Structure 1
């Protein structure tokens, strides 16, 4: 396959979808690990320090640019493939196969992807943009004791208080929590199908391996999406403060 065909041929588009999807899966592991810092229940000290590292260090910032590139590639190629697939299916089957032909979530990847895109826009607007471009209240942490201290205290370092912003948004605006939970549920089904589908695209055809990848996809989706859903629930239920 020529390089020019990667963006134009059906196989090339699927390779881009699979490759970008697996990169985003790796990002989800990092993101879920960072978010798990909220359960230290230390007033956000660990979480704010981790978020500061991701936003202030050169390597994560470079990877962040790559992340947005892969997001765009994944979204654009997904939309293109969905339009192409729908145009090929204008004449339906005489007998509806339902889940005997394919699982409902594999047929609904376009809808699931659209829900995730809406969730992503809300998520970036509420948290990523303020954390990168200002608008967050500062918090001062003594790095020697890992305690929140007043401004100007000896040993105090200023951080963006993204933790407080999350607590405020999730507890004061239930609609944001609902959008977040719906988006993560859509992400769950997207991962269940997408992980094993990506490896199929890269040539895995052995049914034993496909079955293992399917199980691994379910386990991964349950752990990662379970962690994400528990975030707004933990704030709303008052389990962390």
Structure 2
């Protein structure tokens, strides 16, 4: 076995892979949140539907999306493997006692938090990604007068064209596309789904507060010079701002429907 293979199969190697995939997923969260903020535009979903089409049809982003799916699977699998190895390596009674005394709650419960997030990802993708790619969402037509910028919206019963058509006719911009915005409105009418999303974002908060700092420690960025910056980003950006930003969306649609 080569040194690189030995490293990747070792506990340290698994933690390195966990750290790299975790930080990549953190980057995705930032981009995803910025894109989803278009849900709050007062344009009946036009900007968000444009964004959804771009994210699913622009080739470089589609390639990155496969890297994202792979990262989620690898991160989850390696987390499970490390958890099993750690449990086998330490007596249960000792681990519980020592963990309760010397580690944060989020550190001791990363397995539970990760499981909640994995269930959330499956639920989220089945509600939106799967339906969007398998004609499970309605279609919509936007007609925007370019002179007055007034837009009229018409729900289409079915697509008699490709899933996205945009053109100008007599100073009227016409956009026909899949209406993922309407799917968001429909999904977040269910109180139990909204509650689950909020709980999942709370789990994400605790998961990131511990995981963000741990990832940089594993990569060797544990010098006191970088610690305050990493701690600030881990707690206030990834542990507070991003989960709250995502949690506001289902709450907004539930109470505004």
TM-score scaled to structure 1, two decimals? 0.91
Of the three residues 177, 184, 192, the one matched with 1:175 is 192
Structure with a larger share of its residues in strand: 2
Give 1:236's aligned residue: 254
C-alpha contact 2:201 2:246 (8 A) present in aligned 1: yes
Unaligned runs of 5+ in 2: 161-167
Please give the alpha-carbon distance, in whole angstroms, between the structure 2 residues aligned to 1:104 and 1:81.
18
Give 1:62's aligned residue: 63
Please give the alpha-carbon distance, in whole angstroms, between the structure 1 residues aligned to 2:249 and 2:89.
41
Partner SS for 1:203: coil
Whether 1:212 and 2:229 are equivalent positions in the alignment is: yes
C-alpha contact 2:209 2:234 (8 A) present in aligned 1: yes
Please give the alpha-carbon distance, in whole angstroms, between the structure 2 residues aligned to 1:207 and 1:99.
26
C-alpha contact 2:137 2:179 (8 A) present in aligned 1: yes
Please give the alpha-carbon distance, in whole angstroms, between the structure 2 residues aligned to 1:81 and 1:146.
56
TM-superposed deviation, 1:5 = 2.7
Partner SS for 2:177: strand
Q: Comparing both chains, which one has the higher relative contact order based on Cα–Cα distances under 8 Å and sequence gaps of 6 or more?
A: 1
TM-superposed deviation, 1:40 = 1.1
Give 1:147's aligned residue: 151
C-alpha contact 1:45 1:146 (8 A) present in aligned 2: no
TM-superposed deviation, 1:231 = 0.5
TM-score scaled to structure 2, two decimals? 0.85
Q: 1:37-70: per-residue Cα shift (whole Å, max 9, x none)?
A: 1111221111111111101111111110110011
Please give the alpha-carbon distance, in whole angstroms, between the structure 2 residues aligned to 1:165 and 1:94.
45
Please give the alpha-carbon distance, in whole angstroms, between the structure 2 residues aligned to 1:95 and 1:44.
49
Please give the alpha-carbon distance, in whole angstroms, between the structure 2 residues aligned to 1:108 and 1:44.
38
Give 1:162's aligned residue: 180
Count of residues in Structure 1 that have an aligned counterpart in Structure 2: 238
C-alpha contact 1:142 1:157 (8 A) present in aligned 2: yes
Please give the alpha-carbon distance, in whole angstroms, between the structure 1 residues aligned to 2:150 and 2:216.
43
Alignment RMSD (CA, Å): 2.2
